[in-house]
Structure 1
């Protein structure tokens, strides 16, 4: 197995339980892929995902690989409120966790009567899109006739009349403009797309499932930091006798008699295998030069360096965390589409960006009660579109993020002891994703964002993780591991979890 990301480890644990001998070869010195932690001076920070949706994916993993609940190996807690939002006009609202009625009431109170009802009606339509796509886009291998998913928009948009024409929303931004009819609700909706590395102006309408997932299944945090989830999955693999080889870079996939037969490592070592599981279809092609892994009828791999990435700013703060502070606050920018457009042209955007502020109430992340660790995150262009190596570029943008965050946390700058700025270049080094891009989840519809199948044109070679079906995100990575394990164990007739 190539790489020790979350999807790969989920597959490894399941394959080991099924009786396979599994060896994992990881280029870096640790496991977890993008689920990393930065530590310094008694402070600790999650530099990847800060929360988890759909914990059922990992509950299923631990039950299926050891007959014990996820909660027996990590301290999983529901975050409430799920998020606090600060809009461009200064309006604020806190949304309760996994409560549609509570969210409707909170929006009505903060934004005015009727706002909550419009958001609630939107969630009902989003649920219909979820029901239509949940199995084919999350629980089943990619259909051979995947084009059906691309042609049919699962979101039942409301007809919109303009200039004597009736249109339906095709993008997430159009849903916000035509159906929600409030710039703050539009910002709320677009924020979910940005959080998953999607441009809301081009994300398909089916991206409506992203806020639905949060409202329906809640947002969760693992005490000690989300890195604890990666630790628990790694330990489960070790208990099931999975072998890990760190600092072992794979430079080639071996082929014999028309099927994958092993790996070649950077030091020249050849490793024989009956089955090879790799991550990143885009990068796998470099391990099999001249070999086409996907036919013209397949979903082509993304050019990773053209996707969006993230800047993460870790802040070590003096002063105690307020007891009533929200775990996550979203400070909405004034022009999220405009800032992404500026990045695409190689320019640092002038408006304040949309920034996610994570400040967990977790003693494990701070040296004592008189200090606080805070993580700021913003979605940006990857190295493929913007030069993050340019002198001062990273620090200048981090300054903008801190300025934006002060709209929610006054005097934040005065509390900073030190900061660590991480750009897409850090993501590239840790995950191997070209340009440091972050994979979005698979989405259906006319502007579909489907990922390549977990199978390839080379028998015995499979792909797992965020750049293959069903796409990016912690839950999706866990499901990719389940799908790959099913395909390896049961063969092409495998039809997904039941």
Structure 2
């Protein structure tokens, strides 16, 4: 039995802690803030309750697996999972609308044909077939196995089977997600539908590789889910599972250093003073924080995948509304930017700034636990903004509300109050200095979208969470916990779940 110090109580770190405790190790989690969950926070006021992080859950099987492997109580005994339907309603720039059924390929095809005209549904269906092939090729190496030592293999060739396209007397294949949309979907609205899945993870579809297609595939193949009471309830359930497995938590306990002796970790230093001895350390922190904790000593080699830094963040506006939720309202509505190219230029240009008219996601959960009574509604608006962005909060919130009114006419007239959360709030919750949110790992693109391995050059030091393999997103956080536990328990020969 080893003494293991886990730095941070984010979802990936708690997933690793629970699995390691079940394996017989003594696990202590040190969290610099006063609570658990990392990005899965909660804001409450006047009887209203809001998720401050993700509002929907893709691939719940990852968390079901955690609960199966760490105890007899399944996930559904600890939280109530609801498959949202429709999966999303989309309001396109030209005013066209479509509501897409959840995890029903035939239903999506029918809805697209009805809203956009034939052959929109067939083209999207054919695209999903190709996206599934990319998923099948990358699922194990990018999600279920530790990062390969010869990771360059993943970086070289795009696994998406692009359709040959004749252009200027040449036959070409799509190399980016935007080219997939333009050449294979051939409808501006379908291209917007495709691109919004990349943008939601802070990726520019014009430079994201074609195999970014796996992101919409995950949603349309496995569905989108909501947790009653908000996704903070998932964090609570994982925390309580850790406690049941005798994981110890120490909140308001900031780790200021990772102690190394003779090339391997020996423990951690705390801000309150003193050294805590540990044979193993699992760090659920951003790369810059890890570098500081290690005193600037490199834990990655020249031939390793370099840790990602920077990227995009989120602007979030929580709205407390008078009046009950409209009957049949979609849980999620994506209001597309009137000028997608201008939005991408603003977000990903040489000097990024918040777009004047952004794409906005509107979340309207049908959940009595989030409101003081049935005559009120809790709505959350989110938009992608550059990391380190410091917009005027009220002006920026106004832009999101203006966009949301395209989906919810009369929204302003119902407003009681609003709470705005900027990248600075993301930074405070996650410890990432610029408030950046990591994207999932993707193949090709020269490896720039891969994340650093969970193991390091320092013996006994492992990394977990969105800034290490397999990257950002709730499913990926759970997978990183499983990978770290496997590497600790089985050693370097661990090759992932079978």
- What's the TM-score once normalised by structure 1's chain length? 0.97
Task: Tell me the equivalent position of 1:291.
Answer: 297
Is 2:230 the partner of 1:225? yes
Is 2:476 the partner of 1:470? no
Is 2:240 the partner of 1:235? yes
Q: Which runs of 4+ in 1 moved over 3 A?
A: none
Which ranges in structure 2 are unaligned for 5 or more consecutive residues? Answer: 1-5
**1:98-109 equivalent positions in 2, closer than 5 A:** 98-109=103-114
Question: Counterparts of 1:336 and 1:42 in 2: how far apart (Å)?
Answer: 37
Q: Evaluate the alpha carbon distance shift between residue 291 and residue 423 of structure 1 in structure 2; reply closer, same or farther with a 3 A threshold.
A: same
Is 2:21 the partner of 1:13? no
After superposition, the C-alpha distances for 1:347-370 in whole angstroms (9 at most, x for unaligned) are 4423x2101111100000000000
**1:187-266 equivalent positions in 2, closer than 5 A:** 187-266=192-271
Contact kept, 8 Å, 2:354 with 2:385, in 1: the verdict is no
**1:128-147 equivalent positions in 2, closer than 5 A:** 128-147=133-152
After superposition, the C-alpha distances for 1:418-451 in whole angstroms (9 at most, x for unaligned) are 0000011101000011210111000001354100
Secondary structure at the counterpart of residue 467 of structure 1? coil
Question: Counterparts of 1:312 and 1:224 in 2: how far apart (Å)?
Answer: 19
Which ranges in structure 1 are unaligned for 5 or more consecutive residues? Answer: none
Q: Root-mean-square deviation (CA), in Å?
A: 1.1
Task: Tell me the equivalent position of 2:9.
Answer: 4
Is 2:383 the partner of 1:378? yes
Question: Counterparts of 2:425 and 2:411 in 1: how far apart (Å)?
Answer: 25
Secondary structure at the counterpart of residue 317 of structure 2? strand
After superposition, the C-alpha distances for 1:307-357 in whole angstroms (9 at most, x for unaligned) are 01000100000000012100000001123442243245254423x210111
Is 2:26 the partner of 1:24? no
Contact kept, 8 Å, 1:203 with 1:447, in 2: the verdict is no
Question: Counterparts of 2:179 and 2:95 in 1: how far apart (Å)?
Answer: 23
Question: Counterparts of 2:352 and 2:183 in 1: how far apart (Å)?
Answer: 31
Question: Counterparts of 1:428 and 1:237 in 2: how far apart (Å)?
Answer: 25
Contact kept, 8 Å, 2:427 with 2:433, in 1: the verdict is yes
Is 2:171 the partner of 1:166? yes
Contact kept, 8 Å, 2:390 with 2:423, in 1: the verdict is no
Task: Tell me the equivalent position of 2:412.
Answer: 413
Aligned-residue offset at 1:153: 0.4
Question: Counterparts of 2:9 and 2:352 in 1: how far apart (Å)?
Answer: 33
Task: Tell me the equivalent position of 2:330.
Answer: 326
Question: Counterparts of 1:84 and 1:418 in 2: how far apart (Å)?
Answer: 25
Secondary structure at the counterpart of residue 445 of structure 2? coil
Aligned-residue offset at 1:289: 2.1
Is 2:72 the partner of 1:67? yes
Question: Counterparts of 1:346 and 1:382 in 2: how far apart (Å)?
Answer: 9
Secondary structure at the counterpart of residue 382 of structure 2? strand
Is 2:490 the partner of 1:490? yes
Task: Tell me the equivalent position of 2:445.
Answer: 446
- What is the number of equivalent residue pairs in this alignment? 489
Aligned-residue offset at 1:269: 2.0
Contact kept, 8 Å, 1:340 with 1:381, in 2: the verdict is no
After superposition, the C-alpha distances for 1:399-422 in whole angstroms (9 at most, x for unaligned) are 111000000100101111000000
Task: Tell me the equivalent position of 1:435.
Answer: 434
Secondary structure at the counterpart of residue 299 of structure 2? coil
After superposition, the C-alpha distances for 1:234-274 in whole angstroms (9 at most, x for unaligned) are 00000111010111111110011210111011122211000
Q: Evaluate the alpha carbon distance shift between residue 69 and residue 38 of structure 1 in structure 2; reply closer, same or farther with a 3 A threshold.
A: same
After superposition, the C-alpha distances for 1:62-104 in whole angstroms (9 at most, x for unaligned) are 0100022110000011111111100000000000010111101
Is 2:117 the partner of 1:117? no
Task: Tell me the equivalent position of 1:357.
Answer: 362
After superposition, the C-alpha distances for 1:273-325 in whole angstroms (9 at most, x for unaligned) are 0000002233211111231111111000112xx30100010000000001210
Is 2:39 the partner of 1:34? yes
Question: Counterparts of 2:492 and 2:287 in 1: how far apart (Å)?
Answer: 19
After superposition, the C-alpha distances for 1:112-141 in whole angstroms (9 at most, x for unaligned) are 010000000000000000000000000000
Secondary structure at the counterpart of residue 4 of structure 1? coil
Secondary structure at the counterpart of residue 434 of structure 1? coil
Task: Tell me the equivalent position of 2:425.
Answer: 426
Task: Tell me the equivalent position of 2:3.
Answer: none
Question: Counterparts of 1:441 and 1:6 in 2: how far apart (Å)?
Answer: 15
Question: Counterparts of 2:254 and 2:216 in 1: how far apart (Å)?
Answer: 38
Question: Counterparts of 1:239 and 1:495 in 2: how far apart (Å)?
Answer: 28
Contact kept, 8 Å, 1:6 with 1:478, in 2: the verdict is yes
- What's the TM-score once normalised by structure 2's chain length? 0.97
Secondary structure at the counterpart of residue 488 of structure 1? helix
Pick from 67, 78, 84 the counterpart of residue 79 of structure 1. 84
Is 2:460 the partner of 1:455? no
Task: Tell me the equivalent position of 2:395.
Answer: 396
